[in-house]
Amino acid sequence: MATHESYRWRSKSRGDGLTRRSFAVLCAAVPAWAADRAPETSSFDLSLVEDSVVPNELFFVREHFPEPRIGAAAWRLALAGMIDSPFEISREELIGLPRTRLAATLECAENPPGGGLVSHAGWEGVTAASLLDRARPAQAVRFVRFEGYDGYSRTLPVELARESSVLIASRMNGELLPAHHGGPARLLAAGRYGMDSVKWLRKIELLESASAQGDEYVRRSRSLLTGITAGEPVGPVLIKSAFTRPAGGAVFHGRRFLVRGVAWGEHPVAKVEVSTDGGTTWSLARVAKAERFCWAHWEWDWKIPARGQHVLMVRATDSRANTQPLERESKRIDPYEQNSCHRVEVTAR
């Protein structure tokens, strides 16, 4: 059975906080981590889904810059900006604080239908809100900027940063957070696309206004009438589903097959349906426990009607009645929010 290979993508985004020039200066100043490493992007092979969590060593990786090498002893997270009590916290102090647990699926905003830039883990850490409280923010604070040791950053509205689903995570699947996934500590913004979950946290800055986030992570459309237009920023994860078996290209000799997959989004999954006739009719799949922020496993018994080529399609609907589109809007030219139906083509012999 064919499986998706891990693959590397070109690096491109600087988040909202690092210009090309300042990145070059940073690289010159810190050659130890920049010189000999390339940023990694590797996907998770969805056919390997077994339990609800993806083991840390298989969890997808998306880096825009080379992974910074930060000794645990030297690592500090600074709270700065419009606050009464600026402070720095060490790794020992952070991991010693009372922890909150959160199970959450993380998906990269650029993950294509059926792609493996999505995985699920159990995360532990302190809420970002608890550190913000300790810093005693000024009344005027509206935004919080999270910056990583690689210079990447994202700025979130303060109300969002204070939600209980936003953690400073220091553990992943019961282990200390691996360096690949942002250790010693990363932001984990459950229900939001992965770009907001800043890894290798170095600074949390409270601000009255946000500098422009650039044209990264913004919807862009092209039309004959208006040309190219930039729209809303992307953020919440749209409802989406994928087959974990069969993989595209599979060949069956029997007449029954247990089709399986996962479905996820910002809101809990309400139903999953499979079509074998190009989307004309849909059959309900059985969905195992559906919880907010967590991918749900589903399965469907396929009675294979005839020999030949078949195309299977899957779509999910969430608790707010949002359903995946059959096709992506043709006017969209950005690479984000690709939540149209996943299709696999298989052969019955």
Nearest residue (CB) to ligand MTE, 122 versus 279: 122
Does residue number 341 form part of the binding site for ligand MTE (CB under 6 A)?
no
291 alpha-carbon distance from chain centroid: 17
Q: x/- binding map, residues 103-142, to ligand MTE, per CB under 6 A?
A: ---x-x----------------------------------
Q: Where are the alpha helices (DSSP H) in the chain?
A: 20-29, 31-34, 91-96, 128-135, 158-161
* Cβ-contact 342, 47 below 8 angstroms: no
Does residue number 264 form part of the binding site for ligand MTE (CB under 6 A)?
no
> At closest approach, how far in Å is the CB of 106 from ligand MTE?
6
* Contact range with ligand MTE by CB under 6 A, out of 83-91, 157-165, 194-202, 220-228: 194-202
Does residue number 60 form part of the binding site for ligand MTE (CB under 6 A)?
yes
Of these, 150, 273, 334, 337, which contacts ligand MTE (CB under 6 A)?
Answer: 150
Backbone angles phi, psi at 33, to 5 degrees: -100, -20
CA distance 213 to 235: 13
Which 8-state DSSP code applies to residue 133? Answer: H
* Contact range with ligand MTE by CB under 6 A, out of 128-136, 196-204, 235-243, 321-329: 196-204
- Counting residues that bind ligand MTE (by CB under 6 A) gives 20
CA distance 132 to 170: 17
Does residue number 64 form part of the binding site for ligand MTE (CB under 6 A)?
yes
Does residue number 177 form part of the binding site for ligand MTE (CB under 6 A)?
no
Of these, 34, 52, 53, 62, which contacts ligand MTE (CB under 6 A)?
Answer: 62
Secondary structure of residue 94 in the 3-state scheme: helix
Q: Which of 178, 177, 159 is nearest to 123 (CA)?
A: 177
Of these, 66, 115, 125, 148, which contacts ligand MTE (CB under 6 A)?
Answer: 148
> At closest approach, how far in Å is the CB of 198 from ligand MTE?
4
Q: Which of 159, 91, 88 is nearest to 128 (CA)?
A: 159
Residues 6+ apart with CB under 8 A from 132: 79, 144, 158, 161, 162, 204, 206
- For 131, the enclosing helix (H) or strand (E) is helix 128-135
Binding site residues, ligand MTE, CB under 6 A: 59-65, 106, 108, 148, 150, 152, 181-182, 194-195, 197-200
